[in-house]
Amino acid sequence: MVGPAFHFYPDISSKVTIASTSLSNNLRSLNQSLVTFEHCTLTIMASTCLVLRRGIATSAVCYGKRNFRKFLLPNKRGSRNFKEKQSKDPYPDYPIDKRGTRDTGIKVGNKWIHIPEKVPELIVPSLEGFTLKPYVSYKAQNIELEEFTAKDLFDEIYAPKIKKDFEENQLLENGDPINPSEYEKLTPQEAKDRAGKTGCDIFCESGKDRNSVL
C-alpha cells in the first residue's frame, strides 16, 4: 500500500534533489560573505558552515560607552593578567589610588619588587606578668579608695536594715529579723553565687536602688 506522501509526490527523490540544487545555488552566490546581526553572527564560507552566537543581554546599550565614573572601584579594573603586566611595565595613564596604605615593596626602573618583610602583621603581645595599671589622665581627680572588704559589704547591705529593725523592735530574741529582706533570706552559697555573676557591682551610689547591688 502506498502512503499519502507517495500519493501526492510520486517522485520524492527528484523533489529533494531539486530543493538541494536550489539551496546550493543560493549559498554559492553568498560565498565568503559575513552577515552580522545583533548578538547573532551568520558566517557562510566555502564549506557552507552556519555558526550562531548569542549573548545574555539583547539591549543595544551594551554597545555604548562604559562610564566607569559611576563605579567607585579603585585599582580593581582589569584582569589578573593586566595587573601582572602593570607590576612589570605599568601603563603611565592608569591611575593608582593607594587609599592611604604603604607600599609593600620598591620600584626599580619599570619593575616592581615585592618585599615580604614589609607586609604588615598583627602582633599581640603577651600580658603574662604585666604589672602596669591602665593609663589614667593627669586631669583626673585624685581619689584614694581603700580595699573593699567583707565588713564594708556588710555595712553597705545588711547594717541599715538591722539598725532599722532594732529601732522599730522588729527583731526576735535570737536576733533574727521578723520580716527578713530579700538579701537576709539568702543562704551563704546563694549570696556567693550572686556576687560572682556577670555584671555584678558591689558598689552602690547614692540615689540608686539598692536591689540592683547583687
Q: How far is CA 210 from CA 145, 168, 201, in A?
A: 21, 21, 11
Say which residue the cell 593607594 belongs to.
98
Per-residue pLDDT of the chain (214 residues; tens, 9 = 90+): 444 444 444 454 454 455 456 556 555 554 444 344 444 444 444 445 555 665 555 555 556 666 666 666 666 667 888 778 877 777 766 667 777 888 889 888 778 889 999 999 888 888 888 888 878 888 888 888 888 888 888 888 888 988 888 888 888 888 888 888 888 888 889 888 887 777 666 544 544 444 444 4
Report the pLDDT value the prediction gives residue 78, as an integer from 0 to 100.
74
Alpha helices in the chain (DSSP H): 4-8, 12-29, 80-88, 150-157, 159-167, 188-195
Report the pLDDT value the prediction gives residue 116, as an integer from 0 to 100.
93
Distance in angstroms (rounded) separating the CA atoms of residues 54 and 44: 17
Q: What's this model's pTM, rounded to 2 decimal places?
A: 0.28
Give me 135's grid cell.
593609663
